[in-house]
Structure 1
């Protein structure tokens, strides 16, 4: 929370799947907070950092972001995927993965 207090980080979305009895993963939280997240993406131009398993987790997270952009921004699936590719190209969507 030091980064939030210092202003280096303006918003933090977290999901801890191992700390609760009901399993809730990042992709579920993305869709749950979709309206706020899509607004934040479109209005603030954030850097999104995702970390996880390359085979299963990261595609699900990316798909959830695509769905949120479709639902709340009026993008088509293709436009949403292109938007995320542009974020990747401009270092605004950063992936840390393992297999």
Structure 2
């Protein structure tokens, strides 16, 4: 995941820690149709940045972990693809 977000503030150690914490609470991360559906994704559209929150779908249906990222619209236009910068991955329960 860090390679997709190269040069961002959120780095490899952040991903390792967050993913370890997730798996300390959940056995698996679902990637089924529900996990990829609109119910678990929110997009707050601003004029320069979109804030995207992906809720992670766990087997018990707690859905208590999220990844938050920003889409830089000007940078995306400049390179012709989405420039997404992860800001955090964490539990909603603390």
Give the alignment's TM-score, normalised by structure 2. 0.26
More helix by share: 1
More strand by share: 2
Of structures 1 and 2, the one scoring higher in RCO (CA 8 A, sep 6+) is 1
